[in-house]
Amino acid sequence: MELRKDYVLDRWVIIGKERGKRPNEYRQPKPKESRGIDVFAAGNEHLTPKEIGRLGSPWRMRWFPNKFPFVEKKKVKELNKKFFRMDAAWGAHEVIAETRTKKQLWDLPAAHFKDLLTVYRDRIMQISKDRKIKYVQVFKNHGGEGGASLTHSHTQVVSSAFIPPEVMDKVAACRKLGKGCYGKVIEAERKGPRRCFETKNVVAFCPFASRFNFEVWVFPKRYVRGIDELTDAELREMAAVIRKVLLKLRSLNAPYNMFLHYAPKGKELHMHFEITPRLQKWAGYEFSTGIVINNISPEASAKYYRS
């Protein structure tokens, strides 16, 4: 058993190396195909809120407001007392239907991945024009354990009038350690046992203090603050590497979350994606201490990706 600390955050994990347990033993049963109406599929456009935009004709992707948002552009009565603070969860919540059919993201070609990252970039840039918006969080839930309530492959885009604490914690750490702190991590990891995939401009690795089985971070090697700063070649390579990660997770039928972290306006942070498979449940120890127990080492996880 090992107690490991995150690269820059004051966050710890226990790595419980399971000797003899092979990656294939983490394979999940294939989920049953939903027999209900696929509201995001082609032909059912009338079942979603009014479309904001689409890519292609006929469309390959389309985006629209979430029918059940958890932020909205409505005011509430503010409360600011000693121990009690409340404000509006102000913002907008969108859905990107990633495909016309029931295919999952990991079933799609590399060009489709690049198109999706381009849509991510364009939505962040467009939504951020609203001065009230401080951050646009792009994330994907896949599978029931990953929090997906619908099986159709989709991404969620949530804009808010505040910067998420997780992002601010990373920004604060980079301010203390220097904006190039993740660059030093990248240089160390691309030469070590946790490296998964590498191209000319992009590297993917399992983080030293992984909180999730088979967790992967994907960074551009060059310091960029946001996805809008990536060159076309970097964006293409980023898409290709993410696809490689997801193809390995497909072999496990793994539920997962994927999200983008970037620097808020006026802040410094090395933009990157994090992919967090949901193969292990957190329980009493994790919730009571904040310390996660990960029962497969990132070194073993990376070896699986490289295999």
CB neighbours of 182 closer than 8 A, spacing ≥ 6? Answer: 7, 8, 174, 219, 269, 270, 272
- pTM score: 0.96
User: Structure tokens of 184?
Assistant: 């030093």
The amino acid at residue 295 is N
- Tokens 């409340």 belong to 86
pLDDT in the model for residue 18: 61
Running along the chain, 307 residues long, what does each successive block of 10 average in pLDDT?
A: 96 80 85 85 97 97 97 88 91 98 96 98 98 98 94 98 97 95 97 98 99 98 98 98 98 98 97 98 96 95 96
The per-residue DSSP string of 227-261 comes to: GGG--HHHHHHHHHHHHHHHHHHHTTT--EEEEEE
pLDDT in the model for residue 16: 85
Q: Check if the beta carbon of residue 219 is closer than 8 Å to that of residue 182.
A: yes
Domains of the chain in start order, with CATH, are 2-306 (3.30.428.10)
Q: Check if the beta carbon of residue 155 is closer than 8 Å to that of residue 113.
A: no
pLDDT in the model for residue 261: 98
pLDDT in the model for residue 180: 93
pLDDT in the model for residue 24: 81
Task: Give the whole-angstrom CA distance, residue 279 versus residue 92.
Answer: 30
Q: Check if the beta carbon of residue 246 is closer than 8 Å to that of residue 281.
A: no
